[in-house]
Amino acid sequence: YSWQTLGAIDFYFLSVNQPDQSNIQARISLGEKPLVKTEEVGTPNLQFQAAKQQGMQAMAAGDYDKAMSNFEVAIRKYPNAPETLIYLNNARIGNQKSYTIAVAGPIATDPDGTLAILRGVAQAQDEINKTGGINGVPLKVAITSDDQNPDTAKQIASALVNNPEILGVIGHSASSVTLAAGEVYNSGKLAAISAVSTSVKLSNFSPYVFRSVPNDAFSARALANYMNTQLKKQNAAVFYNSKSDYSKSLRTEFVTAVSLGGGQVVDEIDISNPDFNPATPVQQAIERGAQVLFLAPNPAVLNQALEVVKVNGKRLSLLGGDVMYSPKTLEKGAENAVEMVVAVFWDIDSNPQSDFVRKSKALWNAEVNWRTAMAYDGTQALIEALKRNPTRAGVQEALSASDFVAPGVSGSIRFLRSGDRNGSVQLVKILPKQNTSSGYDFLPIPSN
């Protein structure tokens, strides 16, 4: 074994199959280096950047008091900075006894999605540490960047498994990446909770892999039911990415749910090709009797899905998987996306008076989305498990226990024996809305 010191934690690396260990070290941080290129939305804030940089330099030097004061200045200059808030809370701990968890996400390839996840983890860490910690012990968070790459995720997972301080993981994002890293967590006996991986392939995958988000079957059933009972339509065409486990899972579950409701999927169109032209497939779907287009892209093909929205031009009703729940859909889809119904797992407008919404708005000076809520819930589950038994084996046993329950944003967090969350889906509809940057918004549909 070779090892490399990283901040206050020693990360041990298995030298086999890891030719570039410095590359993996560069992807893990407790506050001594930035992994998020830009935390600011819109205009760069140079005073924030300077204070954050000074804080990271102080962390690298082990000067936690100086790091703390610099990170505090940075957060005052720009509050909506979850990486910086995690670093600040780690600096406040310094070398005290702490319990450490890691959060893994595709920071470079999907910065917006990862920042949303980091907000949930950061808020949970901030709240527990401000209220005395986990049975008196503060929570430290290591951030890791996997580029949505299964091989990179496996190497990061090995580094986390080989570091005995890490007691649990929030991650990963794409279902295929969570599956790859999950093999390592399974053999290394380290519990991981994904906040956003929804593929049914993860159900019963490993006793160490959980998720704080319901699987694709929940979304598919909710959308198929809406198509049948609310739209009163029977025939759909599906647009999906054949190269994505998530996208294929959502497609399969939707096809099953539609046929169980007495309808049928008349066409399945693969949009994985970058040169995909939607004009012919949309026309073909109409000729085959489709009344509804179901869009199940993964983030890599969201632009292709939005081309389908444009070409459709409001002719057929639109349904969408959770990846369609994006500011880009509102901006690019605009009038063509009005009335589209999307399945998500939480929406800020569904319970605007809740404690979580109030606290998140105060903390970030901005509104959060379902990814933040699910990451917060995943972190709350790890915190609750650490309260029961702050060891790796104890965390896994707690999460698996039939009596396990943790407080969540959208109700109590409980896991099924499959590792799936026992939860529900929120349907939202795109409608015009004044005083928004795009002129449109996702608004919750009241559940029956």
pLDDT digits (tens, 9 = 90+) for 199-216: 999 999 999 999 999 999
Specify the CATH number of the domain 21-214+357-400. Answer: 3.40.50.2300
**Residues contacting 290, CB < 8 A, separation 6+:** 235, 236, 237, 266, 267, 316
pLDDT digits (tens, 9 = 90+) for 68-78: 999 999 999 99
pLDDT digits (tens, 9 = 90+) for 166-178: 999 999 999 999 9
* Backbone dihedral region for residue 195 (phi beyond 0: left; psi -120 to 50: alpha; all else: beta): alpha
- pLDDT at residue 7 tops 70: no
Question: What CATH class has 216-344+426-444?
Answer: alpha beta
* Residues 133/95, Cβ–Cβ less than 8 Å: no
Please tell me if the domain spanning 21-214+357-400 has the same topology as the one spanning 216-344+426-444: yes
Q: At what angle do helices 355-364 and 370-388 cross, to 10 degrees?
A: 110
pLDDT digits (tens, 9 = 90+) for 28-55: 999 999 999 999 988 999 999 999 999 9
Q: Where do the structural domains in the chain lie, given as residue ranges?
A: 21-214+357-400, 216-344+426-444
Distance CA 232, CA 292 (A): 10
pLDDT classification of 352: cutoffs 50, 70, 90: confident
Query: Which residues is 104 bridged to in the sheet?
Result: 144
pLDDT digits (tens, 9 = 90+) for 260-275: 999 999 999 999 988 8
Least confident of 138-142, 197-201, 426-430: 197-201
Distance CA 435, CA 328 (A): 17
